[in-house]
Structure 1
Amino acid sequence: MIVMKFGGSSVADAERIRHVALIVKEFLPRKPVLVLSAMGDTTDHLLEAADEALGGKVSIERIEGLHLAAIGALGLGEDVARTEILPLLEELKSLLIGISLIRELTGRTKDYLVSFGERLSVRVAAAYFRSIGVKSKALDAWDAGLRSDSNYTSAEVLDESYASIAAVIGPLVESGILPVVTGFIAKTADGHITTLGRGGSDLTATVIGAAAGAEEVQVWKDVDGILTADPRLVKDARPVSTVTYEEASELAYFGAQVLHPRSMQPCKRTSTPVRVKNSYNPAAPGTRIVSSLEAGALPVRAITSKKNVTLVDIVSSRMLGQHGFLARVFASFEERRLSVDMVATSEVSISLTLDAAHDLVALKRELEKIASVDIRKGKAIVTLIGDVSRSSEILETTFGVCARSGVQVQMVSQGASKVNISFIVDDDQAGEVVKALHAAFFA
């Protein structure tokens, strides 16, 4: 059994749903479970409808039009619209009328509202599969066994979900039925709908995969897996065949087309492989995310960069032998809710990086009570993701490339995860450094 997850762009309209069906049919011998997001921009349209309702206007025209048009274009007929779609649209309209009357949108109500996107999507898709001869059943996530806490808009999946999912999904798959499950949403024990926050649809897929003992969870996107570099910077960037969960988590932080780190945890716990594939190029093998790599892998799996960061140098002889100095420094960041990207320390100094959007005037004033503070804007983080046990080899090549390119490395940090080496250069040099490093490691 495998789990296949498709995002909103993959099921944006009738044409894309047909394309997804062609892909899924190729995998029917492997007994797939399908997890879908809302169609296209439905989630945005739902939130816009809520804003309008708060102003006293109730309209579901765009949402209704998109789904009824898809049903018509897929040749599903009026019966599907009447039994599968119109009841949900009526429920949605009633909710919006309620919002317009009380002029309030709580987190709980917002989750209920947003859930209509996924609930409509799976019903359209499942009906289409049945129309082409594939036995299929649309399932709201809670009917598949998924339960969450009541942290509305960013709920956590409860451990009790795993046994429930296995009990529901297993028999369906074994009886030759294709389950089509809503991503992103769940229910609390007392029946309130929740959403799972960022990466929620991917999380649904990995929870189902881990719970049901899937041989693989496939997450279908619009790129050929994880690439060795940003193709906008490096024209010959190529897909990485395999990475570890830790490497994928680091890459996700830097914007790679990969699962959110939170979404990988269920499969990481059960060592269930995750594969990132391209719905526009189904024949491409994609990138497989696994627990560990075989011997002989390249020392660097991918190179990324993050521009427009600020480098902060904090220097004080008081650090020597003094307890609590670092705690006081980081307390200043905590008070201002500033998130630090990189950190490096010596006996008398701390260097760290922050997002350039932060206003650091008050922070500098506070820190200058205990240290000398130098703030330098216009910097970039260049990160090499790979096998840091080979850090000497990686750093030798990296510093050689930078020296030949006339680039000054201003800070170096090796992550505790053992898969990340990052360094700081000037913003305007980052692109050329990434290109040169890519040529050195992947030539």
Structure 2
Amino acid sequence: MAAASMMMQLHGSWFRPKNVVCSYRQQQSIVCTLSFPNGDVTATATARSSGVGTMSIRCFRDQETTESATTASAAAAEGDFTVVMKFGGSSVASADRMRQVADLILGFPDENPLVVLSAMGKTTNHLLNAGEKAVCCGVSKTSDIPELTLIKDLHLSTVSDLGIPLSVISSHLDELDQLLKGIAMMKELTPRTKDYLVSFGECMSTRIFAAFLNSLGSNARQYDAFDIGFITTDDFTNADILEATYPALSKRLRDDWLAHPAIPIVTGFLGKGCKSCAITTLGRGGSDLTATTIGKALGLREIQVWKDVDGVLTCDPTIHPRAQPVPFLTFDEAAELAYFGAQVLHPQSMRPAREGDIPVRVKNSYNPKAPGTLIIRGRDMSEVLLTSIVLKRNVTMLDIVSTRMLGQYGFLAEVFSTFEDLGISVDVVATSEVSISLTLDPSKLWSRELIQQELDRVVEELEKIAVVNLLQHRSIISLIGNVQYSSLILEKAFHVLRTNNVNVQMISQGASKVNISLIVNDDEAEKCVKALHYAFFESNDVPNSRPGVGNGAAILVEN
């Protein structure tokens, strides 16, 4: 489709797109990205055939794009914040990556951004491993911990390469040394100490980046989230943000901006316990939640989450390289994707954005020109069948059978109180008249797998009230999309799985109405994802399928 042959009307004015990139075909429609000469506005549109030689164009976000640009300019002119930009660890993993991120941030002169950063690269993992080794290595040996050396080398070389003073992080490196010696002396790494330990990653990355921006002549100000109003529960390693955070955060950031305008560089992932006043963390990936909380607190136009992939994809690209970017998602779809294992977003991060009705845009810091994924409250689902396929591995499944369930009440309460007492989360549930099938979340604190001792306790407690069958090495394949068409989704899915001789051991439909979960053996899971992706997103062979994504043709995938 040539740009020269197309004209589009945008709010009463006609423009000729100077570039049209068609990303994928959906039967009689083509999803395109169009760039217009008026300020290089980019919009995503669907072109649908309406006769020979003609295409009618529907621009999904033309109003949002135009109004957002106007709102951003007005807010910037008034001196208020317009957008929060969150960058993950891979985006700031080196001096070169920090330079690229700085160029990206400063490349939007009409914006007044806030920036949220994660720790550099694998620093959080290195800090955790260093803490675990300090418990048993002895005080005199802490300086020899390999992970500590890696952390120091990375941060010192980054400071040197960027040409900023060592004093920016020297006190933190000294304090980290002392903390590891203290852990070695006590021979214990409590959840509270663990949160304090991992906070060094974000505290150093933000100080380095703020100092670098200032060295470029920009005004930047570093903030530790726990000092500016991020108030949380005292659930160390997995704290929840409290409502008191929003007014405190808004007042502090706006007061500082009015007194002396500077780009805020905020630590992701961190908070302060409401009772303990100690540093807390928001769980793995919590920097996303930091960004959306800031977005809601300040009522921003947009929340941008910059990752190392081109937005949210139709499946994990490490499983299937033909995964495709998803142009639009609803908050509900994004929350389900995150909960069931998609690594792009933190499971809790959608809540503040949904409550504030603030769009979230997921983009690629390595490929900033890619459109990414826009997450909004609602979208036209009439032509959507499936949005994405998510795989969650290493799941434990329990079959609980008891005739006490038949016609009785309170049995389910007994079952779930057992999990509550043991502090274990349940993922997926399916029930019948006399049985319950469920899966256990494989992640407890810091993604630690459920150890066998804990599983044995679960079975022991449940066997007091039922017959229990424990099945390990299972995977959850979640089909995220328009579950209004669940019968069609299941028809296609079971056709694919039957072709590949895969037995589904459990099926559950989420209450959100955007998710269907299938339980299969771990060793068959990747094969299933590849075959399902082909059927729903790549195949164009079968007629009479629902307009939208894919049509259900099945292929046999070899392990």
**Does residue 1:144 correspond to 2:225, yes or no?**
no
Superposed, 1:80-95 pairs within 5 Å as: 80-82=165-167, 84-93=168-177, 95=179
SS state at 1:137 partner: strand
Give the Cα separation in 2 of the matches to 1:324 and 1:91: 52
Give the Cα separation in 2 of the matches to 1:376 and 1:49: 34
**Does residue 1:26 correspond to 2:121, yes or no?**
no
TM value normalised by structure 2? 0.69
* Bigger relative contact order, structure 1 or 2 (CA pairs below 8 A, ≥6 apart): 1
Give the Cα separation in 2 of the matches to 1:418 and 1:402: 22
CA contact (8 A) 1:225 1:257 kept: no
CA contact (8 A) 1:312 1:374 kept: yes
Relative to 1, partners in 2 of residues 1:318 and 1:120: Cα closer, same or farther, differing over 3 Å?
closer
Give the Cα separation in 2 of the matches to 1:46 and 1:379: 31
Superposed, 1:262-341 pairs within 5 Å as: 262-309=348-395, 311-315=397-401, 317-330=403-416, 339-341=425-427
| Counterpart selection for 2:490 from 378, 383, 395 | 395
| Counterpart selection for 2:238 from 154, 157, 162 | 154
Relative to 1, partners in 2 of residues 1:28 and 1:193: Cα closer, same or farther, differing over 3 Å?
farther
Equivalent AA in structure 2 for residue 135 of structure 1: N
Give CA-to-partner distance per residue, 1:216-267, whole Å, 9 cap, x none. 2122222112111222333321011122222222222332122221232222
Give the Cα separation in 2 of the matches to 1:428 and 1:89: 44
1:442 aligned partner: 537
Relative to 1, partners in 2 of residues 1:219 and 1:326: Cα closer, same or farther, differing over 3 Å?
same
2:155 aligned partner: 67
Please say which of residues 280-289 and 428-437 is displaced more in the overlay. 428-437
Give the Cα separation in 2 of the matches to 1:107 and 1:431: 34
Relative to 1, partners in 2 of residues 1:193 and 1:372: Cα closer, same or farther, differing over 3 Å?
closer
CA contact (8 A) 2:310 2:364 kept: yes
CA contact (8 A) 2:117 2:202 kept: yes
1:121 aligned partner: 205
**Paired residue total:** 439
Give CA-to-partner distance per residue, 1:35-54, whole Å, 9 cap, x none. 11222343344455555487
Give the Cα separation in 2 of the matches to 1:379 and 1:217: 35
Give the Cα separation in 2 of the matches to 1:32 and 1:397: 45
Give the Cα separation in 2 of the matches to 1:105 and 1:314: 36
**Does residue 1:55 correspond to 2:138, yes or no?**
yes
Equivalent AA in structure 2 for residue 276 of structure 1: V
Give the Cα separation in 2 of the matches to 1:39 and 1:193: 19
Equivalent AA in structure 2 for residue 126 of structure 1: A
1:36 aligned partner: 117
Give CA-to-partner distance per residue, 1:178-199, whole Å, 9 cap, x none. 1111112233467543333333
Give CA-to-partner distance per residue, 1:86-134, whole Å, 9 cap, x none. 3444444555565566666554444334333222221211111122222
CA contact (8 A) 2:430 2:507 kept: yes
CA contact (8 A) 1:229 1:303 kept: yes
More helix by share: 1
Give the Cα separation in 2 of the matches to 1:412 and 1:102: 47
Give the Cα separation in 2 of the matches to 1:187 and 1:373: 41
Give the Cα separation in 1 of the matches to 2:179 and 2:394: 43
Give the Cα separation in 2 of the matches to 1:100 and 1:433: 46
| Counterpart selection for 1:2 from 74, 83, 88 | 83
Please say which of residues 375-384 and 97-106 is displaced more in the overlay. 97-106
Relative to 1, partners in 2 of residues 1:230 and 1:357: Cα closer, same or farther, differing over 3 Å?
farther
Equivalent AA in structure 1 for residue 154 of structure 2: L
Equivalent AA in structure 2 for residue 29 of structure 1: D
Give the Cα separation in 2 of the matches to 1:350 and 1:137: 53
Give the Cα separation in 2 of the matches to 1:98 and 1:302: 46
Equivalent AA in structure 1 for residue 211 of structure 2: A
| Counterpart selection for 1:383 from 478, 482, 485 | 478
CA contact (8 A) 1:172 1:179 kept: no
SS state at 1:179 partner: strand
Give CA-to-partner distance per residue, 1:391-433, whole Å, 9 cap, x none. 2332233334344555444432211121111223455544343
1:421 aligned partner: 516
**CA positional deviation for 1:141:** 1.8
CA contact (8 A) 1:240 1:287 kept: yes
CA contact (8 A) 1:223 1:257 kept: no
CA contact (8 A) 2:83 2:301 kept: yes
Identity across the alignment (%): 52
Give the Cα separation in 2 of the matches to 1:166 and 1:240: 32
**Does residue 1:177 correspond to 2:262, yes or no?**
yes
Relative to 1, partners in 2 of residues 1:332 and 1:202: Cα closer, same or farther, differing over 3 Å?
closer
Aligned-pair RMSD on alpha carbons? 3.4
Equivalent AA in structure 2 for residue 153 of structure 1: T
Equivalent AA in structure 1 for residue 340 of structure 2: F
Give CA-to-partner distance per residue, 1:120-168, whole Å, 9 cap, x none. 2212111111222222111222443333344433333332221222223
Equivalent AA in structure 1 for residue 506 of structure 2: M
Equivalent AA in structure 2 for residue 74 of structure 1: L
SS state at 1:33 partner: strand
Give the Cα separation in 1 of the matches to 2:397 and 2:226: 46
User: Which consecutive residues of structure 1, in runs of 5 or more, have no partner in the other structure?
Assistant: none
**Does residue 1:186 correspond to 2:186, yes or no?**
no
Give the Cα separation in 2 of the matches to 1:10 and 1:176: 25
**CA positional deviation for 1:373:** 5.5
Relative to 1, partners in 2 of residues 1:120 and 1:225: Cα closer, same or farther, differing over 3 Å?
same
1:135 aligned partner: 219
SS state at 2:508 partner: strand
Give the Cα separation in 2 of the matches to 1:96 and 1:368: 43
Equivalent AA in structure 2 for residue 417 of structure 1: S
Equivalent AA in structure 2 for residue 70 of structure 1: T
SS state at 2:355 partner: helix
Give the Cα separation in 1 of the matches to 2:277 and 2:460: 50
Give the Cα separation in 2 of the matches to 1:100 and 1:335: 31
User: Which consecutive residues of structure 2, in runs of 5 or more, have no partner in the other structure?
Assistant: 1-81, 443-449, 539-559
Give CA-to-partner distance per residue, 1:22-77, whole Å, 9 cap, x none. 2212234221111112223433444555554872135476544433322221123x
